[in-house]
Chains A and B, each alone.
Chain A
């Protein structure tokens, strides 16, 4: 069964440093997403991406965040200057269509720890 692959599985970074989280979505999917989950809390939407541009973003996705699809397979989330409160699990997801009428496939996540 096709999978969404995320790397690394765990990243520890110093506050103020830049991090890039990487994802390989399912190959024939067209919509890509980043969600995050702070320990013990809800899964929260960050951003959706389609046709090489951001479709929607939440209030969490401020100027410190950016997304990119640098080639035909990777989808990255960059946090420019990490804060302690950025510590969370970050999940990438992809969907064949973005209408919300089809289930997403989530990756296993990257646990980001900011110290």
Chain B
């Protein structure tokens, strides 16, 4: 089955700096890669996703890149703000599996 590895497990940045979180996946058939933000006591919230026919996608301060050959994808947050502090999860899914395999999460702390 699919295995998703995520790094780093914790990340601290100064407000205004950029943050990058990286994930690798094992199943070359995976074709959908969402990123979720989880705040304390809440469920995962989808913040951005990318499909395997696209190399990069951007939404305001958030961008995701995908390298299918290397089987890795990354989340980039620019101009970080304290409210970006949360746990971020990457995930991967194949079209027919109807399930997500999650990474282990990154605790992002944005220091004011």
Contact = CB atoms under 8 A, between A and B. Distances in A.
Same assembly? yes
Interface of A: 4, 6, 31, 33, 35, 41-45, 48, 50, 55-56, 58, 91, 93, 98-101, 103-109
Given A42-B104, A42-B105, A100 B43 contact: no
B46 interface: yes
Interface stretch (B11-19, B71-79, B94-102): B94-102
B49 A103 contact: yes
A88 to B, nearest CB: 13
B44 A106 contact: yes
A111 B107 CA distance: 20
Among A41, A44, A104, A109, residue most surrounded by chain B Cβ atoms (within 10 Å): A104
B interface, over-half SS: loop
B98 A103 contact: no
A7 B104 CA distance: 26
Interface of B: 31-32, 34, 36, 41-46, 49, 51, 89, 91, 93-105
Nearest to B98: A98
24 contacts: A6-B43, A42-B102, A44-B102, A45-B100, A50-B98, A91-B44, A93-B43, A98-B98, A99-B95, A99-B96, A100-B31, A100-B32, A100-B94, A100-B96, A100-B98, A100-B100, A101-B31, A103-B34, A104-B34, A107-B43, A108-B41, A108-B43, A109-B42, A109-B43
